[in-house]
Amino acid sequence: MMLLYAVIPAQAGTPRLVGLSGNELETVSSADAAMVVEECDRQPDTSKAEAMQFARILEELAGWTTLLPVRFPSAADSRSEVRAELDRRGHEWQRRLDQLEGVVELVVRASWSGHPAPTRGDLPSGGRYLRERAAALHADEALAIELEEVAAPWCRETQRLSARRGVRLACLARRDVTSKLRAALDTWQGQATCREVLVSGPWPPFSFVSEPDG
Amino acid sequence: MSLTPATTDDVALVDLLDRVIGGGVVVAGDIVLSIADVDLVYLGIRLVLAPAHEVEQSVGLRVRES
C-alpha cells in the first residue's frame, strides 16, 4: 500500500524525508506531475498524533518545493494506481502548481466579541430563537464581507470555511506579503473593539488545491 | 466538551488539523471512510477538531441512518 502525501512538480526530484511508517518518501512521476508517497504495510492510523505528524511532513515538503497536499489519510493500492491517477489528473495539477508557486495559506477567524450565537436553551420561544439566529447570521455575513474586503489587496484567492461562531476565511497570499496581510488585519481589529481577529498559518495551500470556480 | 479553542496556539492547532483532514487533494482510491472501524475513529477526531455545526451535521446524519 502507498500512503499519499502531496502532488509536486514532475521535475522536483525526491525529498529526503521519512514518512509516517518510518520509510523513506518516494515519488511516482508522470510527464506532468509527481506524487510523494510512502510504501507501507498498514492503513494509516487516524489519530490526532498521526495527523499532526502528517502536517509536519507536509510543512517540510512545502519548504522544499511547491505542492498540493493530499487529504489525510489517503492511500492507493500500488504505484501503478498512483501513476494512473497522475496520468488522469497530472495536467490539471501541473497548472495549479504553477499558480501556487510562492504562496501560502493563512486562516483568519473573525467574530463579534460579546455576541455569541443563541442556542435553543437560552431563549424562551422558537420564534425568538429564529429571530436571534437570523440576526446573528446577518451580523456574521456583514463581518465576512468586511473581512474579505480587508484581505483582498493581499490575497490571490480567499475561501470561506465553515465556522461554529463568526467567520473563518482561508487566504491564499504570497509568502512575502503575509506580514502586510497580518498588519491590515490588526488595523481592522483595532478599528472596532467589539471585533476579535485571530490568524493562523502560514500553511501549505490545503484549501486551494483546485482552481476557483468560474 | 468545549470545541472553542482557548488560546492562539490552540486556534493554530485546530485550524491546521482541520485543514489536514478537511482540505487537500481528494484522490480516487481514497480509503478515508471505507472501513467501518476507521470511519468511527475518524469521526472521533472530527468531534474534537471540526467546527461544531459540521460535527452536528455528521452526528445527526449518523443518528438518522442508524
* Residue contact A68–B12, C-beta within 8 A: no
Q: Answer yes or no: are the C-beta atoms of A79 and A28 closer than 8 Å.
A: yes
Q: Among A51, A165, A207, whose Cβ lies nearest the Cβ of B17? A: A51
More confident residue, B15 or B5: B15
Our CA-based measurement puts residue A24 at a distance from the nearest CA of chain B, in whole angstroms, of 21
List the pLDDT tens digit at each of the 214 positions of chain A.
889 999 999 999 888 999 999 999 999 999 999 999 999 887 777 788 888 899 999 999 999 999 999 988 888 888 998 999 999 999 999 999 999 999 999 999 998 876 555 555 666 677 888 888 888 888 889 999 999 999 999 999 999 998 878 899 999 999 999 999 999 999 998 887 778 899 999 999 999 999 887 5
pTM: 0.79
Grid coordinates 496556539 are at which residue? B9
The rounded distance, in Å, linking the Cα atoms of B62 and B66 is: 6
Interface of B with A in 16-55 (CB under 8 A): 16-32, 35, 38, 41-42, 45, 48-49, 51-54
- Residue A214 exposed, middle or buried by CB count within 10 Å (0-12, 13-18, 19+): exposed
Q: What is the pLDDT of residue B22?
A: 85
The rounded distance, in Å, linking the Cα atoms of A96 and A30 is: 16
Return the residue of A nearest to B31 by Cα: A74
Our CA-based measurement puts residue B59 at a distance from the nearest CA of chain A, in whole angstroms, of 15
Grid coordinates 484581505 are at which residue? A151
* Residue contact A209–B25, C-beta within 8 A: yes
Q: The complex's ipTM?
A: 0.82
